[in-house]
Structure 1
Amino acid sequence: MTCAVLSIGTELTRGELVNTNASWLATGLTELGFEVIEHCTVDDDKGRIVAALDRLARAAKVIVCTGGLGPTTDDLTTVAVAAALGVGIERDEASLDHIRRRFEKLGRTMSESNAKQADFPAGAAILPNPIGTAPGFAVEIHGARAFFMPGVPREMKRMFDEHVVPRIREVAPNDSHQLRFRTFGLPESVVGEKLDGIEAAFPGVTIGYRAHFPEIEVKVLARAADRSGAVELAERAASEVHARLGEVIYGNGDDTFAGVVGRALRTRGWTLAIAESCTGGLVGHLLTKEPGASDFLLLDAVTYANSAKQAVLGVDEDALRGHGAVSAEVATRMADGARRVSGADVALAITGIAGPTGGSEAKPVGLVYLAVSTPKGTVVKEQTFPGERYWIQTLAAYMGLAMVRAACKNI
């Protein structure tokens, strides 16, 4: 069963906004068993939206669309769909009442311009939006089932899960199954080399890759005569993927690296302290993006200056003068100091040269020292990361999290 993703918005065609909605939808549709044949992005132009809908509806059986449902004059999805269908626009009083109550709940008065968000092509099925002011709707165009959702990611995702998936699941092919694995530690080319030959060994399986720095996602898609056969085939191929990649795989599906590290700390019953220099709080940011970080995170000290390393962590001046702030000795003292002042079970310290300036022949840009302190001692690693400042900081943060995860598993 073929499917197309249509994204509407001049901010997308101009490159002012990264289109994460399309990739998220395509992943979900693929997991449902659909064959996604096209991603189409069109600006806020009624004629071009109509033309895109007409073309996609003749090529795909299902169309999922985001954007253009707002209250401003450049939000033209509803009128474009009505034009494509040759029908009028109707106002839905229940939707209008919901929008008013939404504003009242926020302590605001609804603007008259928001009333247009309760307008729909005649005959459309309305898709409620419990967390926003833009309801979606569903219609049929040239025999294709078309669904229109807001462009706000959190609103779109909830509407897709609650109102679109139940409507398209009944027509989704029941002959495929996809598993996704998250990896960190190897470049895409090496991951591909390690998995070479799996498709030949498991007919019906396709291996896909998605690089999202600094991670690589591996997708195992299996097709068989029926769903149970596809699940069994995907699981057999996945076992081979695990055997070849081993610890490089850190999680499945929508797992995040920081989330997996947080779970490891909870499982171990450990608390964590962090002392950051060149990463500037990035490790703490990654961990606290995940809910429940307060279960284990006691301290994240950004000790950028030498004076802060001394005052907050107790790093002695002799170590700083004798070895320099970017050294194994100072990283060790930072980790030990963070664990001591916080009372945490484990502490991570990172100090390095993120560039683009500050490097030397002896200590080049990209040189980073990472230390993990536990009651059994402190482990230090020296790494030289490639790339620009953002790359060096991100790789250092991930490597630090990897060391914490290893400590949870090995001690």
Structure 2
Amino acid sequence: MTCAVLSIGTELTRGELVNSNAAWLSASLTDLGFDVPLGATVDDDLTRIVQELQRLASFARVIVCTGGLGPTTDDITTQAVANLIGVPLVRDEASLEHIRRRLAKFGRTVSDTNAKQADFPEGADILPNPIGTAPGFSVRIGNALAFFMPGVPREMKQMYEEQVVPRVRALAPNDSYQIRLRTFGLPESTVGERLAGVEQAFPGVLLGYRATFPEIEVKVLARGLSTAAARELCERATLEVKQRLADVIYGEADDTFAGVTGRLLRKKEYTLAVAESCTGGLVGHLLTREPGASDFLLVDVVTYANSAKTRLLGIDEEVIRGHGAVSSEVACAMAEGVKRVSGADVALSLTGIAGPSGGSPEKPVGTVFIAVAGPAGVKVVERHFPGDRHMIQTLAAYVGLNLVRQVCITST
């Protein structure tokens, strides 16, 4: 069955916000077994919203929409839908009471603009919003079943999983199965080259790619006569993909690089200490963004100044003067120093030149030394990353985490 995703909001068409909702919904609908051939974005304009819904309803049997359900004057999605299907707006007292109770928690009362969020097209199926003031709703537009949800990602995702999925799951054709693999370390073109011929070797399999710097996601989608047949085909094709990309695949589905690294540290019962310079705390941020980082992360210290490297990590000033703060010697001393002062099993350090200035012919912008001290001793690598400051810092953080990951994988 064909699905379409519609994102509504002028802030999206102007590029003021990144449309993460559409990508998330498309992936989720595909995982349910739907075909999602088209996604569209439209601004907060009554006429254009109506026209886009009409167009999507002409071929899709399920339409999932986000945005335009808030209290402000540009939130006009509900009115547009009522105009399209030719019914009046009707106030739902249960939704209004929910809004009233939610606002009361913050010492606020319901204004007219808040109250309009309880207005729905007559006959609509209302979708409760337990964590926000904007309920969603569902209506029929011709042969299409259309769902309308708020644009706030956290609210949308919970509403989709609790309200939309149970209503559409039975409509899925149950003839497909998808596995998503997450990779780091190769550009998209090289990943594609390595997987050349997989689709031909496994008829019914379609490979997809999604680049989200600095990662590449590989999607293996298989279709068959049944879900079981599609799954068997998908798993066989995925095994081939894993063999071809064995050196860069780190996880599946919604795994994150930091999350996988953390799981490996827990499995080995290793503690970790980090000393950062050019990355300015990015490694620690990536790790602590994942739940349960306190199980293994003892300390993340940003020793940006040379004096901090000496005072906090005990690095000899002569080492810094003799080799420079950006050097393999200092990177090793940082890793050994933070390991010593923290008592961690594994220590990671990063020092480099993230730019845009500060480089030299000998050490250009993008030069980073990364060291990891573990049970087998200290290893240091020198890398020369391309791109701007953000790209250099991100790549350095990922390479550092990858070194920690390798320590966990190879240690006995």
Q: The TM-score by the shorter chain falls in which range?
A: over 0.9
Match of 1:355 in 2: 355
Match of 2:382 in 1: 382
The yes-or-no answer on 1:316 pairing with 2:316 is: yes
- 1:112 deviates by 3.0
Counterpart AA for 1:38? L
Match of 2:127 in 1: 127
Give ranges in structure 1 of 5+ residues lacking alignment: none
Match of 1:102 in 2: 102
Counterpart AA for 2:346? V
- Give the stretch that moved more between structures: 100-109 or 136-145: 100-109
- Alpha-carbon separation, structure 1, partners of 2:153 and 2:221: 25
Match of 2:154 in 1: 154
Instruction: State TM-score, norm by structure 2.
Output: 0.98
- 1:101 deviates by 1.0
- Alpha-carbon separation, structure 1, partners of 2:28 and 2:51: 26
SS at match of 2:245: helix
- Alpha-carbon separation, structure 2, partners of 1:140 and 1:214: 41
Counterpart AA for 2:11? E
- Alpha-carbon separation, structure 2, partners of 1:292 and 1:135: 32
Match of 1:47 in 2: 47
- What's the Cα RMSD here? 0.9
Match of 2:191 in 1: 191
1:1-400 paired onto structure 2 within 5 Å: 1-400=1-400
- 1:393 deviates by 0.6
- Alpha-carbon separation, structure 2, partners of 1:129 and 1:37: 28
- 1:224 deviates by 0.6
The yes-or-no answer on 1:408 pairing with 2:408 is: yes
- Alpha-carbon separation, structure 2, partners of 1:275 and 1:228: 49
- Give the stretch that moved more between structures: 47-56 or 201-210: 47-56
Counterpart AA for 1:89? L
Give ranges in structure 2 of 5+ residues lacking alignment: none
SS at match of 1:17: coil
Counterpart AA for 2:53? L
SS at match of 1:246: coil
- Alpha-carbon separation, structure 1, partners of 2:289 and 2:251: 17
- Alpha-carbon separation, structure 2, partners of 1:120 and 1:327: 64
SS at match of 2:258: helix
- 1:293 deviates by 0.8
- Alpha-carbon separation, structure 2, partners of 1:385 and 1:163: 45
- Alpha-carbon separation, structure 2, partners of 1:43 and 1:62: 21
- Alpha-carbon separation, structure 2, partners of 1:231 and 1:167: 23
- 1:37 deviates by 2.1
Identity value in percent: 70
- 1:239 deviates by 0.5
Counterpart AA for 1:384? H
**Residues 70-124 of structure 1: CA distance to partner in whole angstroms, max 9, x if unpaired?**
0111100111000000000000000111111111233433333111111100000
- 1:343 deviates by 1.2
Counterpart AA for 1:268? K
Instruction: Give the aligned length.
Output: 411
- 1:341 deviates by 1.0
- 1:345 deviates by 1.0
- 1:141 deviates by 0.3
**Residues 274-313 of structure 1: CA distance to partner in whole angstroms, max 9, x if unpaired?**
0000001000010011111111111111101101101111
Instruction: State TM-score, norm by structure 1.
Output: 0.99
Counterpart AA for 1:102? R
- Alpha-carbon separation, structure 2, partners of 1:62 and 1:68: 19
**Residues 24-63 of structure 1: CA distance to partner in whole angstroms, max 9, x if unpaired?**
0000111111111211111111111111111111121110
Counterpart AA for 1:159? M
- Alpha-carbon separation, structure 1, partners of 2:400 and 2:5: 38
**Residues 258-279 of structure 1: CA distance to partner in whole angstroms, max 9, x if unpaired?**
0000101111111111000000
- 1:229 deviates by 0.3
- Alpha-carbon separation, structure 2, partners of 1:57 and 1:324: 64
- Alpha-carbon separation, structure 2, partners of 1:305 and 1:67: 46
- 1:404 deviates by 0.5
- 1:370 deviates by 0.5
